[in-house]
Amino acid sequence: MGEPLRIGMVGAGKISGAYLDTLERLDNVVLTAVTDLDPARAQAVADRVPGIAVSGSVAELAARPDVDAVLNLTIPAVHAEVALTALAAGRHVYGEKPLAATLTEADAMLAAAEAMGLRIGCAPDTVLGTGIQTARRAVDDGLIGTPVAATAFMTTPGHERWHPDPEFYYRPGGGPLLDMGPYYLSALVHLLGPVARVTGAASRPRAEREIGSGPRAGERFAVEVDTHVTGVLHHTNGALTTLVMSFDIHGARLPNIEVHGTGGSLSVPDPNGFDGPVALHRDGGDWETLPVSAGYAGAGRGTGLADLAEALATGRPHRASAELSRHVLDIMLTLLASAREGRALPVESTCARPEPVSG
């Protein structure tokens, strides 16, 4: 194995802890620098990982000779800005979802990477764990026959019940689809391939929400986005997915994802996690739990970055790619546009189905 990919982390907020847990046990990546708008948070990371440098800005971090790639853990509104700064400095980029706030920003990132001969990776990498990959192996091996339909449900009464500052979930760029959709849609592309057309509907039952925890409990704030989104996704292979993403459901007994084929059905674990049981129901039989057959075992946040490092070393495509993330963003934005316009709309982009992770 060659030298590990040297990583500069931008953003040391809550999600950074999950990345650090994973990076500390990976051999092919090493954290060398960190920066954050709050110097104290950056210093806390440096205290946890001895020997790394604290940089004063994104540009300063990206210019360091001991940084090969920038890990972008900032808020979605500045994903593109941070990524473009890193790319201009000649650094690869791996970022949290979504890839960017708009397709225009996403296209600027992809164009800059292509011009510089660099790579962009993007979460979610949960799809690379044993849960989704074992389910994909079952689909690819024909255990359910030809896929004809799928269902995907994410239901909750709303994040304001537990988050002390939840307003951003209910402002433009938020909502259940843009918040949680990347996990479900990335999994569906792995399982069934890209989406060609969508039909959507959406609603906003409450004009205000109330913060339920923390020092601001009881405060009310305006809801600026639709909080219940449903739609039908027409995959290029002919399968149809029924999707429901909601902040308006108090309780449900719905599966996370199911895939149904001509010869059976598949129950898929929560795509917000890396593992979980995969169950198969064959025609005329009973449900049976499949053994783990594929995926990165013991994966965590940052596994996609390790996959990118391995891809750079071997010259293969990386799996948590910007092309996949751009297509997922396009699906979501087109679904919301379909809901506004009241008609089916084509998804203009497509992407290759990422290579599976063998067991």
Dump pLDDT digits (tens) for 151-181.
999 999 999 999 888 998 999 888 999 999 9
Identity of the residue numbered 277 = P
Q: Does residue 307 fall inside a structural domain?
A: no
Note whether 196 and 336 are same-domain residues.
yes
Note whether 12 and 152 are same-domain residues.
no
Decide which of 72, 87, 122 is a domain's last residue.
122
CATH number reported for the structural domain that contains residue 82 in this entry: 3.40.50.720
E strand segments, the chain: 5-10, 29-35, 53-54, 69-72, 92-95, 120-122, 147-155, 195-203, 208-210, 220-222, 228-235, 240-246, 257-261, 264-268, 279-282, 287-289, 345-346
pLDDT of 183 over the 90 cut: yes
Residue bearing tokens 């999600």: 15
Percent of the chain with pLDDT over 90: 94
Decide which of 99, 122, 145 is a domain's last residue.
122
Note whether 144 and 240 are same-domain residues.
yes
- Residue 110's domain comprises 5-122
Q: Does residue 320 fall inside a structural domain?
A: no
Note whether 340 and 243 are same-domain residues.
yes
- In this prediction the pTM is 0.94
Residues involved in catalysis: 97
Q: What angle do CA 96, 309, 327 make, to 5 degrees?
A: 45
Note whether 88 and 224 are same-domain residues.
no
* Tens-digit pLDDT profile for residues 4-44: 999 999 999 889 999 999 999 999 999 999 999 999 999 99
Q: Does residue 337 fall inside a structural domain?
A: yes
Give how many domains the chain has, as a whole number. 2
Note whether 143 and 235 are same-domain residues.
yes
The pLDDT of residue 1 is 54
The pLDDT of residue 355 is 96
Note whether 164 and 92 are same-domain residues.
no
Note whether 91 and 23 are same-domain residues.
yes
DSSP 322: H
Whole-angstrom CA distances from 268 to 51, 128, 196, 259 are 41, 13, 23, 8
The pLDDT of residue 77 is 86
Q: Does residue 159 fall inside a structural domain?
A: yes
The string of DSSP letters for 155-184 reads E-S-GGGT-SSGGGGGSTT-SHHHHHHHHH
SS3 label, residue 147: strand
